[in-house]
Amino acid sequence: IAINISVLCETSKYNSVLPKAASLIHQVYLIQVISTNSVNPDTIFANNEMSLRDIEIYGFDYDYTLAFYSSHLHTLIFNIARDILISKHRYPEGLRKYEYIPNFAVRGLHYDVQKALLMKIDAFHYIQLGTVYRGLNPVPDEEVIAMYEGSHVPLEIMSDFYGKSTHGHTMKQFMDIFSLPEMTLLSCVNDFFMRHNIDYEPVHLYKDVKEAIRDVHVKGIMYRAKYVCYGEQSHAVLKKLSEHGKKMFLITNSPFDFVNRGMTYIVGKDWRELFDVVIVQADKPSFFNDRRKPFRRVTDKGALLWDRIHRLDKGQIYKQGNLYEFLRLTGWRGSKVLYFGDHIYSDLADLTLKHGWRTGAIIPELRKEIKIMNTEQYVHVMTWLQSLTGLIEQMQVHRDPASQAVVDEWIREREAMKPQTKDIFNAQFGSLFRTYHNPTYFSRRLSRFADIYMASISCLLNYDLQHTFFPRRTPLQHESPFWPEYSPAGLNVSSRLHRSKAESD
Ligand SMILES: [Mg+2]
């Protein structure tokens, strides 16, 4: 990087900015030093200070929290839903040649139901240009800007609090890991219709795909398949908590039979002894809101019993119910309870906002993204990007034509680097957590609803149960960073880096 700047400065037309730019070289070097600290993918990250010392009761979601599935399951969901579209909804036979594309979509994307566009939106409701897809092809920026009269999406058309699209809310957000095949199927069918110039109604398509995917889940087609792939180290985590005398419970939307087979595989036949309460088919998020649904006992064979529930007993299986009743029967209230889930909205939002339990988000994608961020290539790109931003910020005040020419060149270079910072994560949509410079809509929700977040529940094995998680105290935009400034001329490049970290929080 230093060499890059030197080369820039040696060119005669850059003479006017040479002294200033040269003085920045050592700051760039400092950034390099700061940013080469690699992050351990098994770290638990804190949005909010929390001590495990205070936690007496641990609760878990099941799918993608305790049990993980191979991407093979996504292929299966895609194939079955595609075939349902053809056989039940009379979609064209030609769709059958579309296969699941494993790395097409990322979680947290928004889908404009009326315009049939899949896209990534940032924390300020701006569309990340370059990530808008119609079918399997990107939509040119100019076309996006014309359609949305800019790139801002008004609140009125964003999906509701749970990511669902209701009347008038045409932007649906896909938050579930199971929604990866759904997004891919939508894109494939859109692609087919456009390729063949078929006039179709995107709203009907969205509803039909949603229904076909729901059929795969609800009608149990998926539950009959044996696709529990691995439990990572879920068993070791549960054992550790149990050995430390912690209470544990499970609240899942999946049916008992499915959970039982998975947990037997992950933990063993006696898995139920680890849990004080097991709730299946809970119907989250309405489980957290709807006081009316009573708990119902289910036998091992799946038969529903009719007796009124006065206690939630260990060893028994309960279906549905609601959180208010759960709190009344167990007395497990407030910040001594920590609940883990992978769905930021339906698992964690209400607990944080209404009920005061502590929350832990399981974000499996973190592991892959951190590994990418630790690569030399990524560190190099980001260091140069931050350096350029710092150079532009400082040098823009020089209004003479020669200096402006250099600054303009830097601005163009910064623009040209954007695709690199995106494509390194996913060629279509980039990182789950960032648009080019901002946190994503997903990131913002994550930081609001999760006290802590991690790639897998197994990260808990790296900490003892007295550990306190402290969020990094990053300076707010109006606060000065705590380490000394290196340049007498106000803001310097290293403080830019520090600020960009603050933005991500
Ligand atoms: Mg889940």
The verdict on whether residue 342 carries a ligand-binding annotation is yes
CA of 37 from ligand 1 middle (Å) equals 32
CA of 102 from ligand 1 middle (Å) equals 19
Stretch 350-360: mean pLDDT: 93
Long-range residue pairs from 87-90, CB within 8 A, at least 24 positions apart, any chain: 88/212, 88/215, 89/208, 89/211, 89/212
CA of 274 from ligand 1 middle (Å) equals 19
CA of 341 from ligand 1 middle (Å) equals 6
From-to residues of CATH 3.40.50.1000 in the chain: 47-69+229-362
Candidates 61, 122, 208, 347; catalytic one: 61
Which pairing describes strands 171-173 and 137-138: parallel, antiparallel, or unpaired? unpaired
Q: Is 371:41 a contact under the CB 8 Å cutoff?
A: yes
300 part of the active site: no
Residue 274 has pLDDT above 60, yes or no: yes
Q: Would you place residue 498 in the very low, low, confident or very high pLDDT band (cuts 50, 70, 90)? A: very low
Q: Would you place residue 165 in the very low, low, confident or very high pLDDT band (cuts 50, 70, 90)? A: low
Q: How many helices (DSSP H) and strands (DSSP E) are in the chain?
A: 16, 18
The verdict on whether residue 122 carries a ligand-binding annotation is no
61 part of the active site: yes
CA of 302 from ligand 1 middle (Å) equals 21
| Nearest CA-CA partner of 179 in 61, 60, 64, 350 | 64
Q: Does residue 255 have a cis bond before it (omega within 30 degrees)?
A: no
pLDDT at residue 489, as a whole number: 38
Among 91-100, 151-160, 307-316, 343-352, whose mean pLDDT is lowest? Answer: 151-160
The verdict on whether residue 61 carries a ligand-binding annotation is yes
Query: Using one digit for the tens of pLDDT, what is the confidence trace for 176-224?
Result: 888 999 999 999 999 999 999 999 999 999 999 999 999 987 776 666 6
Q: What's the CA gap between 200 and 214, in Å, rounded?
A: 22
Q: Would you place residue 261 in the very low, low, confident or very high pLDDT band (cuts 50, 70, 90)? A: confident
CA of 405 from ligand 1 middle (Å) equals 53
Among 191-205, 260-274, 449-463, whose mean pLDDT is lowest? Answer: 260-274
Collapsed DSSP state (helix, strand, coil) of residue 119: strand
Query: Using one digit for the tens of pLDDT, what is the confidence trace for 384-409?
Result: 999 999 999 999 999 999 999 999 99
Candidates 63, 208, 347, 350; catalytic one: 63
pLDDT at residue 144, as a whole number: 97
CA of 120 from ligand 1 middle (Å) equals 22
Q: Give the DSSP per-residue string, 318-358.
A: EEE--HHHHHHHH---GGGEEEEES-IIIIIIHIIIII--E
Assigned CATH class of 47-69+229-362: alpha beta
Stretch 330-345: mean pLDDT: 95
pLDDT at residue 363, as a whole number: 96
